[in-house]
Amino acid sequence: AQTVTQSQPEMSVQEAETVTLSCTYDTSESDYYLFWYKQPPSRQMILVIRQEAYKQQNATENRFSVNFQKAAKSFSLKISDSQLGDAAMYFCAYRSRDQGAQKLVFGQGTRLTINP
């Protein structure tokens, strides 16, 4: 079974600075998807960024980018120019490409605080 680990329960960063959230995962599959979800105080789960394991190029969405290291099974999220609205819980998630295993497997989450 796949597992996802986020070793940083809490992180904080100054507004406008850059912060990196860590995520490692364990799988025996060679092809899969990785995601970062944001959960603000409203509790809504919002997809931030997605990475397909067969793509070597790291995904980027505006101020959000990932560092995907397949051999190390590492998938970190970098937030540049942090804004107050980035304050939230961030969850790393894994999903198999197997059509019979579409569930998301989540890490424990990292609570990000933005200091003004």
100 forms part of the interface with another protein (CB under 8 A)? yes
Using CA atoms, how far apart are residues 11 and 4, in angstroms rounded to an integer? 18
User: How far is the C-alpha of 116 from the C-alpha of 102, rounded, in Å?
Assistant: 39
User: Interface with another protein includes 108 (CB under 8 A)?
Assistant: yes
Residue 53 within binding range of another protein, rule CB under 8 A: no
If one asks whether residue 85 binds another protein (CB under 8 A), the answer comes out as: no
SS3 of 72-96: the string is CCEEEEEECCCCHHHCEEEEEEEEE
User: What are residue 39's DSSP bridge partners?
Assistant: 89
Q: Which of 20, 33, 58, 111 binds another protein (CB under 8 A)?
A: 33
> What is the rounded distance in angstroms from the CA atom of residue 28 to the CA atom of residue 111?
29
Q: C-beta of 72: minimal distance to another protein in Å? A: 22
- 43 or 84, CB closer to another protein? 43
Residue numbers at the binding site for another protein (CB under 8 A): 33, 37, 42-47, 50, 52, 91, 95, 97, 99-109
